[in-house]
Amino acid sequence: MSEAFEPIYDSFQRLYQFLFILLFRIRAWGVENVPREGGFILAANHQSFLDPPAAGLALTRRLHFVARSSLFRLRLVGAWLRAQHGVPIERGAGDRAAMRHVVELLRNGAGLVLFPEGTRTHDGSVGPFQPGFASIAARAGVPIVPVAIDGAFEAWPRWRKLPCWGRIQVAYGEPLPPPDGAKAACTTAAEETRRRVAALLARLRERE
């Protein structure tokens, strides 16, 4: 996929990098585990609204992510999401058109951030992973990179209206190959991805 200069996207990334270093002292480990070319999925735990930018700030590649379609109907928010490569999806509706679009992006060499828990954590722990992301990886034939994000929950838990100062850490694990597409294989891949994310999260907390 072309990595031609995108002024709006790249400007936002530079702004995020400045703010996340200043406000959250962000650090990342395991960047070498993220493919340098070709499509891939970053499967991360979901701690707060800070997660989408945090997941990719240490990477040189541009990323796409999905967000609920209702947000795109808000003029300014929708414009911002599209500039950040957001893909609208109808939550809980089996949005096949969005899934086809995501698969096409991956097949064309894009990187995609997904949060398989489906919602932000209530207590900082890693919840069950829904297997849909593994099915997408199977259809697109791309690897899954487990990603652990820590500190975003403390900086901006779901019950707080605005974030506060904190420290955010991100760890990228070794990629898993795409499952073969069978339901059981996708379920197994989802469970293994969750196990690896939880292990990465534990290691990040040991660093603290």
Tell me: the pLDDT tens digits for 73-127?
A: 998 999 989 999 999 988 765 678 899 999 999 999 999 999 999 999 999 999 9
- Domain for residue 61, yes or no? yes
In sequence order, what are the beta bridge partners of 208? none
Q: Is residue 67 very low, low, confident or very high in pLDDT (cuts 50, 70, 90)?
A: confident
3 falls within a domain: no
Is the confidence at residue 1, as pLDDT, over 50?
no
Question: For the segment 171-203, what is each residue's pLDDT rounded down to a tens digit?
Answer: 999 999 999 989 999 999 999 999 999 999 999
CA dist 41 and 35 (Å) reads 10
Alpha helices in 115-182 (DSSP H): 132-140, 152-155
Nearest to 163, CA basis, from 9, 51, 30, 28: 51
Over residues 133-141, the mean pLDDT reads 97
- Put simply, whether the predicted model's pTM sits higher than 0.85 gets the answer yes
Looking at residue 71, what is its pLDDT? 86
The encoded tokens of residue 123 equal 């207590």
* 142, pLDDT greater than 80: yes
> Which of 66, 63, 113 has its CA nearest to residue 92?
66
Q: Which domain holds residue 114?
A: 25-207
Find out whether 113 and 76 touch, Cβ atoms under 8 Å.
no
Percent of the chain with pLDDT over 90: 86
Q: What is the pLDDT of residue 92?
A: 62
CA–CA separation, 34 vs 42, rounded Å?
8
- Contact yes or no for 178/138 (Cβ under 8 A): yes
CB 133 within 8 A of CB 69: no
Q: Is 99 exposed, middle or buried (0-12, 13-18, 19+ CB in 10 A)?
A: middle
Is residue 18 included in any domain, yes or no? no
Confidence of residue 13 (pLDDT cuts 50, 70, 90): very high
**Phi, psi angles (nearest 5°) of residue 21:** -70, -45
User: In this structure, is residue 170 part of a structural domain?
Assistant: yes
Q: Which residues pair with 171 in a beta bridge?
A: 29, 148
Distance of alpha carbon 100 from the chain centroid: 18
Over residues 1-14, the mean pLDDT reads 79
Per-residue model confidence (pLDDT) at position 3? 59
- CATH code (residue 29): 3.40.1130.10
9-13, 68-72, 104-108 — which is least confidently predicted? 68-72
pLDDT mean across residues, the chain:
94
How many domains are contained in the chain? 1
In a domain, 7, yes or no: no
For residue 64, what are the β-bridge partners?
Answer: 112
| Integer angstrom CA distances of residue 86 from 62, 90, 190 | 12, 13, 23
* Structural domain includes residue 8: no
Phi and psi for 73 in degrees, rounded to 5? Answer: -80, -10
Has residue 10 been placed in a domain? Answer: no
Tokens of 187: 């379920």
Average pLDDT over residues 141-169: 97
Q: Looking at the domain assignment, is residue 96 inside a domain?
A: yes
